[in-house]
Amino acid sequence: MASIDIQNVKKAYGHVQVLHDIDLQIKDGEFVVLVGPSGCGKSTLLRMIAGLEGVTGGEMRIDGKRVNELHPKDRDIAMVFQSYALYPHMNVAGNMSYSLKLRKTAKEKIASAVASAASKLGLDPLLDRRPRALSGGQRQRVAMGRAIVRQPKAFLFDEPLSNLDARLREQMRAEIKKMHGDLKATSIYVTHDQIEAMTLADRIVAMHGGVVQQVGAPLELYDRPANIFVAGFIGSPGMNFLEATYHAGGVTLKDGTVIALPAPLALADGAKVTVGIRPEHVVMGGEGIGMVAGVDLVEPTGFGIILHLSLHGLAFKVFTLDRAALSAGPTVRVAFSPQHLHVFDGQGNRCVPSS
Amino acid sequence: MKTSLLPTIAHRLALLGYIVFALFPLFWLLKVSVTPNDLLYSEGVRMWPSRTTWEHYSFVLQHSAFPTFFKNSLIVSGSTAIIVTICASLSGYALSRFNFRAKYWIVGLMLLTQMFPLVMLVAPIFKILTPLGLTNSLTGLIVVYTAFNVPFATFLMQSFFDGIPKDLEEAAMIDGATKFTAFREIILPLTLPGIAATLGFVFTAAWSELLFALMLINGNNAATFPVGLLTFVSKFSVDFGQMMAAGVLALIPAALFFLLIQRYLVQGLTAGAVKG
């Protein structure tokens, strides 16, 4: 197992720069999830760590050793592909043992490594099958087996669960987490699914437009998003944003509602700000409390209810566990407590309390 | 689900009609090859002669230069097919997987070679090959056929390589393979259907090529089978029986060849590689 150091790494295709000065230190045994929308560069970064893409600038180190120029085969990492990329002309055992064969491992050692990986993943009865005779979930397991059969320095996962159906995805997610708990292997996991990111990660790296937006523990990103992008990306349904003006002690919304803040922010009076509130933090108010919003749509999820509202002409979502919301009238009253309010400045960055 | 009978029958009938249409000339070849000379013009149009004979076959095999033609054709077509397939596999892989500066121009040039009618090129090629001593030789034919078939075969192979997910090689490289090992152990086995198709295509193209064989070869020693067939046409008559018998014999290797490779042609080997 190993640490991975990414220093000032850039990637450009011709004149198009897709990754800008990425800095990331991944500790030995850590599970790091790169998350972001399509095209944010997360997969490119993973492929650069794997050695499948060249590094345009900066330095990449695995276990302290510079690997910028190293061929993938010499980096001693394992990767699980979104497409699984199983060798169709080899059976499951062949797929899992290929890397060991290439390393000229002794036959008995290969057999025992494959057997132990197979039993870990419940693949024992399938060892003679070709990939085409396997279901999606089984193929996914074989892809994982191929990665764990040798003890690589790090595991890379490139959206490994996105081809599975929802139930299987949930199950494999738990298995990956369990496997990481057992193996304590340095892992980098790419996904666009923020639930996967939240549940699996020791640390999440949120990316957007080829730039790292925030690095932190899952709950840190949820509780204290560094900017509007992270705030909107983490959490489902996504955070609501409203335009407001800052003044000492509080913010004034467009309709004149004043919300007092628990602490003054490092902002000038009269500064334009965006306030964010998560749908699950919005309180459905009784008569006389909060603001009036029109109800556009009611979505029961079983567990709770998502209300799509329009507030000051903007889309606004509320998540509530109260089934009474199902029979909401044409308008409801919404309120939110100041400690759940996120305030972002004109550049979209989180405003910190002035000290 | 219950399928109704009528469309199935119509479908089968249409297929049958097409097969009959496509195979009729071959049947006629066979029919004439076993018709005795005296019945050839006297019986009118009949589907099968009243009396059959093997005499044309025995004549062709024992008293004509046909075995030589046959051997020459086998050498030329076989060598061409193998050389072209090897070249096309390598270049097709390069075009499919690598980005290099001159790629656009190389593809353009290869397309350009396919644009000229071959007749235009016969004279210059003859001019080039004569001083090299490659006219009237099988080697000369192999060189020319190879040159003309490589571009198309390259495009063919490229499309087969394009059909193999890039993830597979990347997975192999991460597993510890060099680029060439990944090509040899992962990609090549999966391209066998493509290789079989290319071999078959080039083999039949070379097997039935007449123009260059006719222009570059004189005399029976280096003549290939299509040229040899013309020896059955004399100034005053055409020996149809012997010609057809030779034609039937010439079909055998091509048929055998396709029988050998058809397993790869129909096999969808990539199934199951990636999500499907």
HEC profile of B2-24: CCCHHHHHHHHHHHHHHHHHHHH
- Reference A70, options A45, A52, A57; nearest CA is A52
Cβ-nearest to B275 among A77, A84, A103: A84
Coil, helix or strand at residue A132: helix
The answer to whether the CB atoms of B275 and A139 lie below 8 A apart is: yes
Q: Which of residues 69-128 of A touch B (CB under 8 A)?
A: 71-73, 75, 77-79, 81, 83-89, 98-99, 102-103
* Distance (Å, whole) CA A147 – CA A185: 11
Residue A321 falls inside a structural domain: yes
How far apart are the CA of A13 and the nearest CA of chain B, in angstroms?
12
Cβ atoms of A133 and B272 closer than 8 Å: yes
Query: A275 with A335, same domain?
Result: yes
Is residue A137 located within the same domain as residue A25?
Answer: yes
**Chain A residues with beta carbon closer than 8 angstroms to that of B186:** 87
Hey, is the C-beta of B122 within 8 angstroms of any chain A C-beta?
no
Looking at the fold, whether A75 and A220 belong to one and the same domain comes out as: yes
- Helix axis angle, B240-266 to B66-97, nearest 10°: 30
CA A353 to chain centre: 27
How far A85 CA lies from chain B's nearest CA (Å)?
A: 5
Which residues, 6 or more positions from A214, have their beta carbon under 8 angstroms from its beta carbon? A204, A205, A206, A221, A225, A226, A227, A230
Sign of the torsion formed by the C-alpha atoms of B73, B79, B80 and B82: positive
Closest CA relative to residue B69, chosen from B215, B212, B217, B255 = B217
CB contact under 8 A, B272 and A98: no
A85 to B165: CB separation less than 8 angstroms, yes or no = yes
| A252 belongs to a structural domain | yes
H/E stretch holding B145: helix B138-162
Element (H, E) at B35: none
User: Can you give the pLDDT at residue A297?
Assistant: 92
Q: By the CB < 8 Å criterion, does A239 face chain B?
A: no
Q: Quick check: B273 and A79 CB within 8 A?
A: no
Q: How far away is chain A from the Cα of B33, in angstroms, using its nearest Cα?
A: 45
Rounded distance between C-alpha atoms, residue B23 and residue B203, angstroms = 21
Our count of domains for chain A comes to 2
Residue A279: cis peptide before it, omega within 30 degrees of 0: no
Q: Are strands A31-35 and A186-191 parallel, antiparallel or unpaired?
A: parallel
- Nearest by CB to A50, from B174, B178, B270: name it: B174
In this predicted structure, the answer to whether residue B141 has a pLDDT above a threshold of 80 is yes
Which residue of chain B is at minimal alpha-carbon distance from A52?
Answer: B170
Q: Which helix (H) or strand (E) holds B96?
A: helix B66-97
**By the CB < 8 Å criterion, does A155 face chain B?**
no
Distance from C-alpha of A53 to C-alpha of B129, rounded to nearest angstrom: 47
The shortest C-alpha distance from B263 to chain A (Å) reads 15
Domain residue limits at A325: 239-344
pLDDT at B172 over 90: yes
CATH for B55-266 is: 1.10.3720.10
* B1 pLDDT more than 70: no
Can you give the pLDDT at residue A324? 86
Closest partner residue to B171 (CB to CB) among A75, A85, A134 is A85
Whether residue A86 and residue B272 make contact (CB cut-off 8 A), yes or no, is yes
Question: CA of A143: which chain B residue's CA is closest?
Answer: B171
Nearest-by-Cβ selection for B176 from A99, A130, A132 = A99
Q: What is the pLDDT of residue A221?
A: 94
Check the CA dihedral A226-A228-A229-A235 and report its sign.
positive
Which among A173, A91, A81 has a CA at the least distance from the CA of B274? A81
Report if residue A352 sits inside a domain.
Answer: no
Are A199 and A161 part of one and the same domain? yes
Cβ of A81 and B167 within 8 Å? yes
State which residue of chain A sits closest to B165, comparing Cα positions: A85
List the CATH number of the domain containing A22: 3.40.50.300
Q: Is the pLDDT of residue B269 over 50?
A: no
pLDDT of res. A32 = 96
**CA atoms lying within 13 Å on the CB side of residue B231:** 18
Identify whether the C-beta of residue B89 lies closer than 8 Å to the C-beta of residue B241: no
Same domain, A253 and A138: no
Residue A174 is assigned to a structural domain of this protein: yes
pLDDT surpasses 50 at B268 = no
Single-letter code of the amino acid located at A320 = T
Q: Do A102 and B176 touch (CB under 8 A)?
A: yes
Residues of B in contact with A88 (CB under 8 A): 190, 269-273
Asked whether A60 and A48 are in contact (CB, 8 A), the reply is yes
Domain boundary among A232, A265, A298: A232
Q: Which residue's entry shows tokens 């990306």?
A: A233
Smallest Cβ distance to B272: which of A81, A99, A131?
Answer: A131
Q: Tell me: do A30 and A139 sit in the same domain.
A: yes
A227 DSSP β-pair partners: A349
User: Containing H/E element for A169?
Assistant: helix A166-183
User: For residue B222, what are its two tokens?
Assistant: 């280096």
Instruction: Looking at the structure, tell me whether residues A211 and A245 fall in a common domain.
Output: no
Query: Is residue A311 included in any domain, yes or no?
Result: yes
Both tokens of A142, joined, read 């074989």
Of the ranges A284-293, B92-101, B223-232, which one carries the lowest mean pLDDT score?
A284-293
Query: What pLDDT was estimated at residue B41?
Result: 79
* Contact check, Cβ <8 Å, B171/A79: yes
Residues of A in contact with B164 (CB under 8 A): none
A161 CB near a chain B CB, below 8 Å?
A: no
B113-139 b/e (C-beta count within 10 Å ≥ 16 → b):
eeeeeeeebbeebbeebeeeebbbbbe
A237: preceding bond cis by omega (within 30 degrees): yes
Quote the CA–CA distance of A32 and A201 in Å, as a whole number: 5
Distance of alpha carbon B216 from alpha carbon A199, whole angstroms: 74
Whether the complex's predicted ipTM surpasses the cut of 0.90: no
CATH number of the domain at A312, please. Answer: 2.40.50.140
Q: B170 and A83: CB-CB below 8 Å?
A: no
Q: Testing the interface with A: which of B174, B186, B275 to mutate, by most A Cβ within 10 A?
A: B174
The pLDDT, as a whole number, for residue B275 is 41
Contact: B174, A86; criterion CB under 8 Å:
no
- Give Cα A286 distance to the centre of its chain: 37
Q: Please give the single-letter amino acid code of residue B233.
A: V
Provide, as residue numbers in chain A, all residues whose Cβ is less than 8 Å from the Cβ of B273: 83-88, 131-132
B-chain residues within 8 Å CB-CB of A89?
189-190, 269
Per-residue pLDDT of chain A (355 residues; tens, 9 = 90+): 689 999 999 999 989 999 999 999 999 999 999 999 999 999 999 999 999 999 999 999 999 999 999 999 999 999 999 999 999 999 999 999 999 999 999 999 999 999 999 998 889 999 999 999 999 889 999 999 999 998 899 999 999 998 888 898 999 999 999 989 988 999 999 999 989 999 999 999 999 999 999 999 999 999 999 999 999 999 889 999 999 999 887 898 888 888 888 888 888 888 999 999 999 999 887 666 688 899 999 999 999 999 999 988 889 999 999 888 888 888 888 988 888 999 999 899 998 887 6
**Residue ranges per structural domain of chain B:** 1-53, 55-266
Looking at A204, A232, A260, the residue that finishes a domain is A232
Distances (CA, A) of A275 to A93, A209, A243, A290, A337: 55, 23, 6, 15, 12
Residues 6+ apart with CB under 8 A from B52: B34, B35, B36
d(CA A139, CA A123): 10
Instruction: Report the alpha-carbon distance of residue A145 to residue A156 in Å, rounded.
Output: 13
Burial of A128 from C-beta contacts in 10 A (0-12 / 13-18 / 19+): exposed
Cα distance between residue B195 and residue A272, in whole Å: 66
Domain shared by A220 and A87, yes or no: yes
Contact B174 A134 (CB under 8 A): no
Q: How far apart are CA A154 and CA A1, in angstroms?
A: 6
User: Rounded mean pLDDT of chain B?
Assistant: 85
- The pLDDT assigned to B68 comes to 87
Where a domain ends, among A183, A211, A232? A232
Alpha-carbon distance of B88 to B84, in angstroms, equals: 6
Residues A248 and A272 in one domain: yes
Chain A contact for B174 (CB, 8 A cutoff): yes
User: What pLDDT does A41 receive?
Assistant: 93
Averaged pLDDT, B129-158: 90
Q: Which residue of A has its CA nearest to B187?
A: A87
If DSSP codes are grouped into helix, strand and coil, which group holds residue A58? strand
For residues A10 and A20, the answer to whether their CB atoms sit within 8 Å is yes
Residue A90 parent element (H or E): none
User: Helices H, strands E: what count in chain B?
Assistant: 14, 0
Query: Residues A209, A145: one domain?
Result: yes
Residue ranges with strand state E in chain B: none
pLDDT tens for residues A40-76? 999 999 999 999 999 999 999 999 999 999 999 999 9
Say if residue A79 is in the same domain as residue A179: yes
Task: Tell me the one-letter amino acid at B87.
Answer: C
How many residues does this entry show for chain B?
276
Distance CA B6, CA B83 (A): 49
B271 pLDDT higher than 60: no
